[in-house]
Amino acid sequence: MPERDFDSIYRNFSRLVYWTAFGVVHNREQAEDIMQNVFLNALRHLDTLAGFNDSQLKSWLYRTAINAALDSKRRVKHEMLSDEPIAVNVADATTDVEAAAERRLNSSTVVSAMERIDAKYREVLTLHYFSNMSHADIAEALKITVGTVKSRLARGRTQLARVLSKEGFEYDG
Amino acid sequence: MMDDFEEIKNEELLTPEEDARIDAMLTQAADERNAEVDYDAMLAAIKRKASEDGLLVFSPEEKRQKSAPSRLMKRLSHIAMGIAAACVVGLGVAALVSKSGSDVGDRTANLPDITPQSDALTTAEPISSPSAWEQIDGTEGPFAVGTDTPKVSGGVDDPVPTAVPVRFNGHVETVRLTELGVITQNSQLITDGICAAVGNYEEYGRILRVRASAKGGVVCYDCTVIGFSPYETDIGYAEVEFRSASSFVVYWRVNANQYFLIHISGFDYNETVELLNTFVVA
């Protein structure tokens, strides 16, 4: 398979691999290392992967990423921090910077709160929102029904809302 | 798609407005975070590493150099066709379980957080060695048994079953390999391609577990494909570890980079030998 096909695979599925890995290891550098290993592995097996349809390929990449992430996590032995510290330089703040900082704060709060919901709900939320996967693709990757994907998304959002609410975060507008 | 639909009670749900707000927050958080990930830089790093490892080749000469070991790998993978029979669930477990008069376990797909019984299974490498294109030198390792020539037949090109020695606690047992299908780098393909229609198994990540209640307890075997082994086994040969009187771990080298690992639990010695022989069809 020519290199451009690998580029296409990477463009289409790098988010899936990255956020799948991040969802397990909760560490950016580790997730990047895992993503590199997964795509190197994909390169080694391009002949096989070339025969896959999109759904099979997503499933393969998802499972390879999960396995690589679990192995990486076992090697590291300890849980890493769930998110990076929020860096906001108040002294340099302008309106734009403040707005950006607020968005960053919000996104960090959401990501942090996701760590406190059930894993099976976090998994589908990550795949849907962060990896841009459709309900059908998630169902294929996780070997569950589309209906279950939808129900887990709804429950995941509900749990997330409760966690945010407990922390005093305004989520209801 | 074997799961039960998970129903939601109305009282558990957010109001539409609340749900929309959470949805928007998640979307925004995902956009923010994805914007912080430099996917282009990572692609460049992957290509750089791939180039160092010889995975990206561009010239006709380089392509020829790469294609040769690739063909060799495919040819060697024929041996795995016999081993793939391990995942024909009905053959192995059904034979032994029916002898024990027991029922079989349930299939539960996608259970990512279990701890398999074998340490060897938990430490399995999902990513094959960077030396993926290197062929072993054929040197006989300390545990190798049988002839000097690794047995690599038994595939579609060679319908004659191939005797393969298995070192089994000091005893050499002989099992036979024949063609059955194609095994690939990960167990997902095994389960999807071979076992999907069989059922009666559980899947733990890359590990396929075939389980049954028998003899007052649970008997099972796990199988997976890993990229390393503690033993320097020749291709086509296997090494069996005793973990206890009823727990055996088989490292079966299928090619230069892959081992078919089987953890058999709950069966005694004779049953284990019998089970191993059902994996490969004479």
Chain B residue at shortest CA distance from A136? B1
Classify B190 in phi/psi space as left (phi over 0), alpha (psi -120 to 50) or beta: alpha
**Is A83 part of any domain?**
no
Domain annotation covers residue A10: yes
Instruction: Write out residues 104-123 of B within 8 Å (CB-CB) of A.
Output: 109-110, 112-113, 122-123
Q: Is A13 on the interface with B (CB under 8 A)?
A: no
Residues of A in contact with B130 (CB under 8 A): 40
- Across the interface, whether the CB atoms of A7 and B39 are under 8 A apart is answered no
Residue contact A44–B55, C-beta within 8 A: yes
What residues in A contact B53, CB-CB < 8 Å?
Answer: 40
Contact with chain A for residue B40, Cβ under 8 A: no
- Contact (CB<8Å) B70/A66: no
Nearest CB neighbour to B186, from listed A36, A43, A64: A64
Q: Which chain A residue has its CA at the smallest distance from B54's CA?
A: A44
The complex scores an ipTM of 0.75
Structure tokens, A140: 């294929």
Q: What is the CATH number of the domain that holds A160?
A: 1.10.10.10
A143 interaction partners in chain B (CB closer than 8 Å): 1-3, 109-110, 203
Sort out which chain B residues have CB atoms less than 8 A from A119's CB and list them: 113
- What is the total count of domains within chain A? 2
pLDDT < 50 positions in chain B = 1-4, 58-60, 62-161, 176-201, 203-205, 280-282
What's the token pair of residue B87?
Answer: 């995942």
Out of A28, A48, A171, the one facing B25 most closely (by C-beta) is A171
- Compute and round to an integer the Cα radius of gyration of chain B: 23
Mean of pLDDT values over A36-50: 84
Label residue A102 by pLDDT band (50, 70, 90): low
Distance from CA of B126 to the nearest CA of A (A): 6
Same domain, A94 and A162: yes
Beta-carbon separation of B6 and A171 below 8 A: no
Residue A16 placed within a domain: yes
Q: Does B19 touch chain A (CB under 8 A)?
A: yes
Say if A53 falls within a structural domain.
yes
**Biggest CA pair distance of chain B:** 72
Helix or strand or coil: residue A1?
A: coil
Q: Which residue has the higher pLDDT, A97 or B186?
A: A97
Check residue A131 and give its pLDDT. Answer: 85
CA B175, CA A49: separation in Å to the nearest integer?
32
Write down which residue in A76, A102, A122 finishes a domain.
Answer: A76
H or E segment at A37? Answer: helix A28-44
Taking an 8 Å cut-off on Cβ atoms, the answer to whether B184 and A74 are in contact is no
> Between chains, do A71 and B125 touch, taking CB under 8 Å as contact?
yes
pLDDT at A52: 78
Residue-level pLDDT at A125:
92
B23 lies within 8 A of chain A by CB: yes
In a domain, A173, yes or no: no
Predicted local confidence at residue A99, as pLDDT: 57
The β-bridge partners of B175 are B164
Cα separation, B261 vs B243, in Å, equals 14
Q: Could you tell me if B21 and A173 are in contact, meaning their C-beta atoms sit under 8 angstroms apart?
A: yes
Cβ distance of B26 and A125 shorter than 8 Å:
yes
Q: Can you give the residue ranges of every domain in chain B?
A: 80-129+139-279
In A121-150, the residues whose Cβ lies within 8 Å of chain B are 125, 129-130, 132, 139, 142-145, 147-148
Residue B24: the pLDDT is 87
Q: Is A19 within 8 Å of A122 (Cβ atoms)?
A: no
Domain end (from A48, A76, A104): A76
Q: Nearest CA to B254 among B234, B230, B274, B281?
A: B234
How many Cα atoms sit within 13 Å of A76 on the Cβ side?
Answer: 19
Residue B154: per-residue pLDDT: 30
The whole-number average pLDDT for the span A73-93 is 43
Give the pLDDT confidence score for residue B90 in this predicted structure.
Answer: 30
CB–CB contact B127 A161 (8 Å): no
- Residue range B141-170, pLDDT digits in tens: 222 222 222 233 233 333 334 556 666 656
* DSSP one-letter code for A81: P
Asked if residue A150 and residue A117 are part of one domain, the reply reads yes
Rounded to an integer, what distance in angstroms lies between the CA atom of residue A38 and that of residue B70? 19
Count of all residues that appear for chain B in the document: 282
* Nearest Cα residue to B213 out of B90, B88, B85, B93: B93
A143 → chain B, closest CA residue: B1
Mutation target among A19, A66, A130, A165 for the B interface, most CBs of B within 10 A: A130
Contact A157 B23 (CB under 8 A): yes
Å between B271 CA and nearest CA of chain A: 31
A150, pLDDT greater than 70? yes
Q: What is the mean pLDDT of residues A97-107?
A: 60
Q: Which of A58-62, A156-160, B104-108, B268-272 has the lowest mean pLDDT?
A: B104-108
- Give me the domain span that covers residue A140: 90-166
A96 and A70, same domain (yes or no): no
- Report the alpha-carbon distance of residue A25 to residue A34 in Å, rounded: 10
Best of B32, B38, B71 to substitute, by most chain A Cβ atoms within 10 angstroms, is B32
* Ramachandran quadrant class, A26 (left: phi over 0; alpha: psi -120 to 50; beta: rest): left
Q: Which amino acid is at A120?
A: K
* Predicted local confidence at residue B174, as pLDDT: 60
CATH number where A24 lies: 1.10.1740.10
Decide the pairing of beta strands B162-168 and B238-244: parallel
**Structure confidence at residue B223 (pLDDT):** 67
Annotate chain B with DSSP letters as a single string. Answer: --SPP----GGGSPPHHHHHHHHHHHHHHHHHHHHHS-HHHHHHHHHHHHHHTT----SHHHHHHHHHHHHHHHHHTHHHHHHGGGG-HIIIIIHHHHHHT--B---B---TT---S-HHHHT--SSPPTTTTPPP-----TT--S-SS-----STT--S-EEEEEEETTEEEEEEE-------SSHHHHIIIIITTT--EEEETTEEEEEEEETTEEEEEEEEEES--SS-PPTT-EEEEEEETTEEEEEEE-SSS-EEEEEEES--HHHHHHHHHHHS--
Instruction: Identify how many contiguous H helices and E strands chain A contains and give both numbers.
Output: 8, 0
Tokens of B8: 């939601």
Asked if B38 has any chain A CB less than 8 Å from its own CB, the reply is: no
Q: If you average pLDDT over residues A152-168, what whole number do you get?
A: 87
Average pLDDT, chain A: 76
